[in-house]
Structure 1
Amino acid sequence: MQATQPAFFKQGPKPLTRLLIFSTLSIALMVGDAQLQMLGRVREQVAIVLYPLQWLATTPFAALHSTRDFLTVQTDLIAENRKLNDQLLAAQAKALRMDGLAAENAQLRALDYRRTKAPSQLAEILYSGRDPFSAKLIVDRGDNQGVQAGQIAIDTQGVVGQVVRTQAMTSEIRLITDRNHMVPVMTQRSQVRTVIYGRGAGQLLEVRYLAPNADIKPGDLLVTSGLDGTYPSGLPVAVVVSVERVAGASFPRILCRPAAGIDTHRFLLILDPPPAGPAYPAPAAANASAS
């Protein structure tokens, strides 16, 4: 007895036949699309339908690439910003050094001009004195350079102080602001002679024991009078800041600002001592005058 295949399981055309049918259909569609653009609308509709699926499939990769590019750019920007900041700091430091060198050069040129007018030698300030109760400077000139105690130190603006101690390679200069320092001065305007005293490091100078009716007022320039034989005459010392005349007081209170840059300069000039002349006329000159 031969079994028959149910209708549900009946096979269609043979595989070879199906191959020929679908091959012919495919060729016909390709030729028609190439010649007549038959499937253009179909492709557009299919692309529209598949776009959401394509977007969902590509979005994670696009986000990953965007994140990587963002982090790379941020890293590059941070590195470049740090490099630019370093260059800016270096440029600012260089500008500050250039400003300092320019100021130093201007001071040296001014000191060189002063040196041509009076015999002197240039000295560089090494450090301030260690005693907090005195106002002193240590400079790099000493006995080996011919510096002697008593010589006067000046800057481009006025008197700085006086050499009080020398060693082989250094000297100690007592500033005019020191409490133990005084300078014979006179007012440049009215020629009133007096003495100015130091009051300590960082303090104003003071004129003491001046007559209450003396012709002196704020703004007057005090210069060395030359009466003591140590300070050459005409060197600026201080500028009068205030004059207080109190009724009943024996002397006015007169405060002055140093003319020199006591705490601002790095170089100063040490004036050569004046040539020592005979205290009295020579015997031959005396005899000649007597005859």
Structure 2
Amino acid sequence: MKPIFARGISNQFRLTLAIILSVILIVANGRLDPVRKSISSVLSPLQYVANIPGAMLDWSAESFATRNMLAKQNKELLRQQLLMSERLQRFEHLRQENDRLRDLLGSPVHMDSKKVVAEVMEVASDPYHQYVVLNHGARTGVFVGQPVVDAQGVVGQVVQVSELTSRVLLISDATHGIPVRVTRNDVRLVVNGTGVLDELELKYVSKSTDILVGDLLVSSGLGNRFPEGYPVARVMSVVKDDGQSYATVTAQPLAALDRIRYLLLIWPDDIEPQQEAEDELSDEAIIEVSE
């Protein structure tokens, strides 16, 4: 007797088809980057549209702020301005002294690099990766590998760029690492993310390494990815177990990764000389053609 309902696709066939598709996607993963970039560029306007309700709410909150709140904010800003002015005066004296020491040593002074303020449009919902989406992309000159900081320290680096937006991988992501040095004694180490927003780790730290709780870690400049001297994290614990080959060192990022809104995109110091050189070459080419 024939069954009333015909049997569907067998589980073995489904499993085989899933394995074949998985292998194809793994092999073609590297060739799908242009497709991902194109899709991201197409979806960028939708991200702006999705950001409109939040922007309207922010505008409404600012519009309905009371006079007393504005007066308190103005008073607090004035106090902070006075404190910053006093610190700026001290830093200016230190900068002049540093310039004189560099002149004595014959060391070049670093020029101010190009910087652009960007706003966070979206926070990643992926439980395995930690990244944010900014409202600047290729049109602004953003590039893959570009360092990103906030008012407290290093936030991460750009890993994907479309025409209007860019994706920033946070330093707390488990796949992220950044070379650092201890400001107290210039010991060079590497800080890695743990997948937790407020916790970083330093792997393969020898037990004899001079590192203490409270040490400030800043970017070392090695690898030519992050500029030297930007604050990254502060050491929170150092555990030296006799049964382990290395010390267990954890640190806390200085940037408030759980509530970032405005970030700073930084360009290399040599971008302006390169641009000037390209302009000079183009001018020479124009002159030769005209002759």
> Which TM bucket (shorter chain)?
0.5 to 0.7
Could you tell me the percent identity over the aligned residues? 35
Partner residue of 1:94 out of 53, 65, 81: 65
Check whether the contact 2:190–2:203 (CA below 8 A) recurs between aligned residues. Answer: yes
Partner residue of 2:186 out of 187, 191, 196: 191
Check whether the contact 1:135–1:178 (CA below 8 A) recurs between aligned residues. Answer: yes
Q: CA deviation at 1:97?
A: 7.8
Check whether the contact 1:134–1:201 (CA below 8 A) recurs between aligned residues. Answer: no
Partner residue of 1:158 out of 149, 153, 161: 153
Match of 2:35 in 1: none
Match of 1:6 in 2: none
Match of 1:282 in 2: none
* Matched residue SS, 2:136: coil
| Number of equivalent positions | 182
Query: RMSD between aligned alpha carbons?
Result: 3.3
Q: How far apart, in 2, do the equivalents of 1:159 and 1:136 lie?
A: 14
AA of the residue aligned to 2:253 = P
1:181-221 C-alpha deviation (Å, 9 max, x unpaired): 00000101011101000001424000010110101011000
Q: CA deviation at 1:227?
A: 1.2
Q: CA deviation at 1:265?
A: 2.7
- Tell me whether 1:124 sits opposite 2:119 in the alignment: yes
Partner residue of 2:217 out of 219, 222, 226: 222
Q: How far apart, in 1, do the equivalents of 2:128 and 2:242 lie?
A: 33
Counterparts of 1:207-286 in structure 2, within 5 Å, are: 207-275=202-270
Q: How far apart, in 1, do the equivalents of 2:235 and 2:268 lie?
A: 28
Residues 97, 161 of structure 1: alpha-carbon distance in 2 compared, 3 angstrom cutoff: farther
Q: CA deviation at 1:94?
A: 2.9
Check whether the contact 1:157–1:236 (CA below 8 A) recurs between aligned residues. Answer: yes
Match of 1:139 in 2: 134
1:146-193 C-alpha deviation (Å, 9 max, x unpaired): 101111000111100000000111000000000000000010101110
Residues 255, 100 of structure 1: alpha-carbon distance in 2 compared, 3 angstrom cutoff: farther
Q: CA deviation at 1:129?
A: 1.4
Q: How far apart, in 2, do the equivalents of 1:100 and 1:131 lie?
A: 39
TM-score, structure 1 length as denominator? 0.56
Match of 1:38 in 2: none
Check whether the contact 1:163–1:173 (CA below 8 A) recurs between aligned residues. Answer: yes
Residues 98, 247 of structure 1: alpha-carbon distance in 2 compared, 3 angstrom cutoff: farther
Counterparts of 1:63-102 in structure 2, within 5 Å, are: 94=65
* Matched residue SS, 1:228: helix
**What 5-or-longer segments of structure 1 have no aligned partner?**
1-89, 279-291
Q: CA deviation at 1:264?
A: 2.2
AA of the residue aligned to 2:267 = D
Residues 186, 100 of structure 1: alpha-carbon distance in 2 compared, 3 angstrom cutoff: farther
Q: How far apart, in 1, do the equivalents of 2:228 and 2:208 lie?
A: 25
1:107-140 C-alpha deviation (Å, 9 max, x unpaired): xxx9xx9xx9542101001110121211100000
**What 5-or-longer segments of structure 2 have no aligned partner?**
1-60, 89-110, 275-291
Structure 1 outlier segments of 4+, above 6 Å: 99-106
Check whether the contact 1:188–1:220 (CA below 8 A) recurs between aligned residues. Answer: yes
Q: CA deviation at 1:263?
A: 1.9
Q: How far apart, in 2, do the equivalents of 1:231 and 1:250 lie?
A: 30
Match of 2:4 in 1: none
Check whether the contact 1:133–1:201 (CA below 8 A) recurs between aligned residues. Answer: no
Residues 161, 98 of structure 1: alpha-carbon distance in 2 compared, 3 angstrom cutoff: farther
Q: How far apart, in 2, do the equivalents of 1:168 and 1:217 lie?
A: 44
Q: How far apart, in 1, do the equivalents of 2:152 and 2:232 lie?
A: 9
Residues 165, 104 of structure 1: alpha-carbon distance in 2 compared, 3 angstrom cutoff: farther
